[in-house]
Amino acid sequence: MSTKIFAHRGYSAKYPENTMPAFLAAHQCGAHGIELDVQLSKDGVPVIIHDEAVNRTTNGKGLVKDMTASCLTKLNAGQRFKWLNRKAAIPTLEEVLDWLSKTNLILNIELKNSVFPYKGMEEKVIKMVHDFDLSSRIIYSSFNHDSLVKIHKIDSSAETAALYKKAMPVPWEYAKSIHASAIHPHYRNVTKELIETAQQHHIQVRAYTVNKTKLIKQLISWKIAGIITDNPCHALSCLESSK
Ligand code: G3P
Ligand code: MG
C-alpha cells in the first residue's frame, strides 16, 4: 500500500490552521486525508481548534471550554492571513463532516483532551461521525490513550491511533493492548525497523509532523502508512517522484 498524505490541521503551511480554507486547499491539492484537532465548547459542541486557548490563532482571548460555540465561531481565525479573501472561522466538527461527506477524504480526528478531559466528548464525536455515515473514513487519535480505550468501548470497529512524542520500547504491543490499529509517533521516533515490525504486527505507522523533503522521501521509501504534514502539496510531489 502506498503512503497516504495527511494535511496537518489542513494545508497549514499556507492557510490558517484548522479552518475550512485550509481543509479545502488540502483537498484541492490532492491530499488523501486531513488531520484536525477537536475540543468541546462551553455548551458541549465539538469545535476544531488546536490550543486550549483561542489567543494564538484568533482575535479572541480565553479558553475554548469557557466559550459557547456561537461565541467561538464568530472569532476570526485567519487574522494573520491578510491576503485570504474569505472568512476563516473556527469550524464546528459538524460543519467539517458535512463537507467531508461530499469528498472521498480520510479524516484523522485528534481528540485534544489531555489538558481538559472534556466529559462526554468521545460519545459526541462518535455519534456525529455515525450520523454522517463516515465511520469507515475516520481515524481517531489522541495523546490521551484512556480516551482511545473509551472510543473502542463505545464503538469496537472504530479505528484508533496512539499519538506519542517520546520513544516507546515496543509500541506495536502497546497499541494492541489498548485496541489501537495504528501508532502516530513524532517523526524522531520512526525508523525503518519500527515501520517494518509494526506492519508485521498489523499496526500502521503514521508519523507527524513531517515537513522536510529528505525525511518525507525517506519515510516513503520505508513504506510508511501515513505522513502527517503541514504542506500536503509538497509531500504529494515527493510521493509522485518516488514512483
Ligand atoms: O496528530 C498529529 C499531530 O497533530 C499531533 O500534534 O500538537 O500538532 O496536534 P499537534
Ligand atoms: Mg493535531
- pLDDT for position 214: 98
Helix (H, G, I), strand (E, B) or coil at 186: strand
Distance CA 194, CA 140 (A): 21
- pLDDT for position 216: 98
pLDDT below 70 — which residues of the chain? Answer: none
* Residue of 50, 147, 164, 224 to mutate, ligand 1, most atoms within 8 A of C-beta: 50
- pLDDT for position 79: 87
* Residue of 5, 11, 37, 38 to mutate, ligand 1, most atoms within 8 A of C-beta: 37
Q: Which domain holds residue 116?
A: 4-241
- pLDDT for position 82: 86
**CATH code of the domain covering residue 166:** 3.20.20.190
Tell the residue nearest (CA) to atom 5 of ligand 1: 208
**Residue 37 in contact with residue 9, Cβ under 8 Å?**
yes
Q: Among the bound ligands, name the one nearest to the CA of residue 228.
A: 1
Q: What region does 62 belong to: left with phi over 0, alpha with psi -120 to 50, or beta?
A: left
Q: Which atom of ligand 1 is nearest to the CA of 35?
A: 1
Residues linked to residue 109 through DSSP beta bridges, in sequence order? 36, 140
Alpha helices in 83-170 (DSSP H): 93-100, 121-131, 145-154
- pLDDT for position 202: 98
Tell the residue nearest (CA) to atom 1 of ligand 1: 110
Tell the residue nearest (CA) to atom 7 of ligand 1: 50
**Residue 209 in contact with residue 189, Cβ under 8 Å?**
no
Nearest to 162 by CA among 154, 152, 8: 152
- pLDDT for position 80: 87
Q: What ipTM score was computed for the predicted complex, to two decimals?
A: 0.99
Ligand 2 mean position, distance from CA 210 (Å): 13
Report the domain count for the chain: 1
Distance CA 20, CA 223 (A): 30
| Cβ count within 10 A of residue 135 | 13
